[in-house]
A and B are shown apart, each in its own frame.
Chain A
Amino acid sequence: MKQKHIQHLYLRSGFGIDTKVLDKIKSKPKSKIIEYLFSDSEKMIPLQLNLTEFNLIKNKSPKVLKKEMGEAAFRKLRQKSRKKVRDLNHLWIDRLTDQSCMLREKMTLFWANIFVCRDNHIFHIQHYNNTLRENALGNFRSFVKAIAKEASMSKYLNNSQNKKQRPNENFARELMEIFTLGVGNYTEEDIKESARAFTGWSFKVNGDFTVRKKQHDFDEKTFFGKNGKFNGDDIIDIILEQKQCARFICEKIYKYFVNPVVDESNLEEITTLFYKDYNIKSLMNHIFSSTWFYDEQNIGVKIKSPIELLVGIRIVVPVIFNKKNQLNYLQKMMGQVLLYPENVSGWKGNKSWIDSNTLMFRMKLASLILNDAIINLEEKGAFEDSFIKYYDKERKRNRFIKTTKNWSVFLEQHKNIKPKELRDLLIISKLDKDTNALLDELKISSNRDYCIQLMSIPEYQLC
Chain B
Amino acid sequence: MKRRDFLKQSSLASSLFFVPNFVKAFEKVAKESLGYKKLVIIQLSGGNDGLNTIIPYTNDIYYKKRPGLSVPKSELIKVTDELGFHQSLAPLKNLYDQGYLSIINNVGYPNPNRSHFRSTDIWQTASDANQYLDTGWLGRYIEQFGKMPYTGIELDDSLSLIMKGESMNGIATKNPRTLFANTQTPYFKKVLNHQSDAHLSEHNLGYLYKTMIEAKSSAKYIYETSKTYKSSLEYPKNPFGKQLKTTSEFINSNLDSSVYYVSMGGFDTHANQENRQKKLLKTYSESMEVFINDLKQNDTFKDTLVITFSEFGRRLQQNAAGGTDHGAANNVFIIGENLKTKGFYNDAPNLLNLDSNGDLIHSVDFRSIYATVLDTWLQVDDEAILNKSYNKLNFIG
Contact = CB atoms under 8 A, between A and B. Distances in A.
A115 to B, nearest CB: 15
Contacts of A449: 1, 6, 9-10
A354 B208 contact: yes
Interface of A: 173, 260-261, 301-303, 332-333, 335, 342-345, 348, 350-352, 354-361, 363-364, 367, 371-374, 376-391, 394, 429-430, 432-435, 437-438, 441-443, 445, 448-449, 452-453, 456-459, 461-462
Contacts, number: 183
Given A355-B159, A435-B195, 10 more contacts: A303-B207, A342-B117, A345-B132, A371-B6, A379-B157, A389-B265, A394-B239, A432-B198, A449-B1, A462-B205
Contact of B187 (A301, A382, A394, A456): A456
A335 B266 contact: no
Interface in B237-284: 238-240, 263-266, 268, 276, 279-280, 283
Interface string B165-197: 011011110100010001101011011001110
Given A371-B1, A434-B195, A391 B239 contact: yes
B138 to A, nearest CB: 13
A391 B164 CA distance: 23
Contact of B158 (A333, A383, A389): A333
B11 A443 contact: yes
Contacts of B118: 343
B202 interface: yes
A355 B199 contact: no
Contacts of A445: 9
B396 interface: no
A344 B245 CA distance: 37
A408 B170 CA distance: 42
B218 interface: yes
B26 interface: no
10 contacts: A261-B203, A342-B117, A345-B132, A354-B207, A357-B158, A359-B211, A373-B3, A391-B265, A435-B199, A453-B10
Contacts of A461: 208
Contacts of A384: 46, 116, 268
Interface residues of B, number: 71
Contacts of A453: 10, 187
A391 B167 CA distance: 30
Contacts of A354: 207-208, 211
A173 B202 CA distance: 38
Nearest to A302: B204
Contacts of B11: 441-443
A343 B132 contact: yes
A391 B238 CA distance: 9
A104 B372 CA distance: 51
Contacts of B130: 173
Contact of B205 (A345, A386, A430): A430
Contacts of A394: 239
B208 A458 contact: yes
Contacts of B211: 354-356, 359
Contact of A438 (B120, B121, B191): B191
Contacts of A434: 194-196, 198-199
B156 interface: yes
